[in-house]
Amino acid sequence: MSSRQVSGDPAKSGRVSLSSRWLWPSISGVVSVAFGLGVAELVAGVLAPAASPVLVVGSLLIDLAPPWAKDAAISLFGTGDKAALLTGIAVALALVAAAAGVLQNLRPPIGRVLIIAGGLFGMGAAITRAGSSIFDSIPAAVAMIAASVALTALLRRKPSDTPKATDVSRRRFLGWAGGATALGALGALGGFALQAGARAATAVRSAIHLPAPSTAAAPVPAAADFGIDGLSPIITPNREFYRIDTALQVPIIDPTTWSLRIHGLVENEVVITWDELLALPLEESITTLMCVSNEVGGSLIGNARWLGYPIRHLLERAKPKSGANMVFSKSSDGFTASTPIEALQDDRNAILAVGMNGELLPLEHGFPVRMVVPGLYGYVSATKWVTDLEVTTFSAAAAYWTVRGWSDHGPIKISSRIDVPNRNTAAGDVVVAGVAWHQHTGISKVEVQVDDGPWREAELATAISADTWVQWRYTWNATSGSHVLRCRATGSDGEVQTSALANVVPDGATGLHEVQVSIG
């Protein structure tokens, strides 16, 4: 044998293969954590359906994230922010699990310590959620124990470096890893199957028929919608309506168990059930809602036909005491919002909504009941899955977003948006069109500017009401080249949309929407 050759037995040569050092331990870590989470889902399905370790950790991360991080996530992913978060959690878990396997192999018991730390974090996330109990920590504890035991077992069976034993030991290891993965998957599927309560609530929901409104919304004027391709329809379909909230998992609430409590600085505490709410004279109204995270020209805005009962009538029953200036609404998932009490008592149609565009309120939009308040950003008014209204003061309570640096009132600012034309358009007459809004005030004028030329007034469609957006259009004789289009709105009160740029934090973005087009 040449002096350059090395014995094929790593044990004799004093070397350990990269597979033994890194690959098999990494696989062991990932499989062990997957197994642990699968078993945890099964336990959660039996004991605490809302305590899935992945979901409670994700919810905690949402709560802990600073405003700039939430704003960045919404800007990057829009209504897909939750899917992006879950994907990120899965990737992070896989990396941490792989690291735990390697560390446990090289420097025991560091890998198990890492898994235990993750389990404790999950337990803490579970018991700090709204309405949680000590039982909610059990799934994360089970995941921690199961993953630790599985990691130890798999590392003992990792393939040998001895050439003659490698194939046999590799097959044995992969068999154990595959079996653990399969058991984890079966556990997760079992956990999902055990969520009978959610299925029962869904069955109850499917049997509900909305009552006819005692007061129907006026028909949408034919002249309210220009019918231009690419222009936002005057009524936003439910499937296209934006969804921004803090619920990583959409709450499934059985309406037969739902109730709303109105209390605090009131003379009479009021509690109303689902059946009682549906028996009241419900009113229909068309209202535009908007998220405060909507950038200038953004899509986090929609207009829908809502069915519900005016909150002002319930407040009249409760009789707020002198000095009360805020209603602190709470969601079943722990979200809170601070709404100026006058916005719920004046002539705007602030309602407890049960229907949306002629259908039962969709699950993701707050079923069974949500708040709809014209003129205020959603973070201070549009509480979904609402269960509690506390009449109080701004000095006595601070809501979810307020303690994170956002304004506590949140009136929607006047704005406008360009929807068409496309970025590349032929020369000649080009229709520039979009929407404008100034809720609870109305729009009197929209103007368009081409490059830095004069402002030209656009044609307004017929507005449904002061609480909805309105379409506009302008015919532009486009010439070849690159151009910048801008729009600005003027409210019925004379307020002109400002050109001053402001970020969404703390009370909504400002500036003029502009788009660059290339005319061929």
Q: What is the pLDDT of residue 10?
A: 42
CA distance 245 to 509: 18
Check the CA dihedral 274-275-276-279 and report its sign.
positive
Q: What is the pLDDT of residue 12?
A: 42
Q: What is the pLDDT of residue 434?
A: 98
Report the first-to-last Cα separation within the chain, whole angstroms. 75
Name which of 147, 123, 171 is nearest 29 in CA terms.
147
What is this structure's pTM?
0.75
Tell me, rounded to whole angstroms, the distance of Cα 53 from its chain centroid: 18
Q: What is the pLDDT of residue 1?
A: 37
* Strand, helix or coil for residue 334: coil
pLDDT tens-digit profile of 40-54? 888 887 777 778 888
Instruction: Read off the pLDDT of each residue in 500-511 and give the average, rounded to a whole number.
Output: 95
pLDDT band, residue 17 (cuts 50/70/90): low
pLDDT band, residue 382 (cuts 50/70/90): very high
Query: According to the per-residue pLDDT averaged within each range, which of 78-82, 90-94, 326-330 is highest?
Result: 326-330
CA distance 366 to 304: 14
CA distance 195 to 45: 6
207 vs 213 pLDDT, higher one: 213
Mean pLDDT estimate for the chain: 89
Instruction: Read off the pLDDT of each residue in 306-328 and give the average, rounded to a whole number.
Output: 98
Strands (E), 413-513: 415-420, 424-425, 428-437, 443-450, 455-457, 459-460, 470-478, 481-491
Residue 7, pLDDT > 80, answer no
Instruction: Read off the pLDDT of each residue in 10-15 and give the average, rounded to a whole number.
Output: 44
Q: What is the pLDDT of residue 20?
A: 73
pLDDT band, residue 444 (cuts 50/70/90): very high
Residue 199, pLDDT > 60, answer no
The DSSP-derived string for 51-99 is: --HHHHHHHHHHHHS-HHHHHHHHHHHGGGHHHHHHHHHHHHHHHHHHH
22 vs 337 pLDDT, higher one: 337
Least confident among 79-88, 216-225, 314-323: 79-88
Q: What is the pLDDT of residue 195?
A: 64
Q: What is the pLDDT of residue 164?
A: 58
Residue 14, pLDDT > 50, answer no
Q: What is the pLDDT of residue 400?
A: 94
Instruction: Read off the pLDDT of each residue in 246-251 and give the average, rounded to a whole number.
Output: 82
Residue 168, pLDDT > 70, answer yes
CA distance 415 to 446: 10
Counting beta carbons within 10 angstroms of the beta carbon of residue 66, is it exposed (0 to 12), middle (13 to 18) or buried (19 or more)? exposed
Instruction: Read off the pLDDT of each residue in 81-88 and give the average, rounded to a whole number.
Output: 80
pLDDT tens-digit profile of 258-290? 999 999 999 999 999 999 999 999 999 999 999
pLDDT tens-digit profile of 220-239? 999 999 999 999 999 999 99
pLDDT above 70 covers what percent of the chain?
A: 93
Residue 513, pLDDT > 80, answer yes
Instruction: Read off the pLDDT of each residue in 148-160 and give the average, rounded to a whole number.
Output: 89
Continuous H helices in 194-305: 196-206, 274-279
- What are the respective helix, strand and coil percentages of the chain, to the nearest 5? 40, 25, 35
Q: What is the pLDDT of residue 22?
A: 87
- CB neighbours (10 Å) of residue 356? 23
Q: What is the pLDDT of residue 266?
A: 98
Task: Name the token pair of 197.
Answer: 């309560």
Residue 2, pLDDT > 50, answer no
pLDDT band, residue 201 (cuts 50/70/90): low
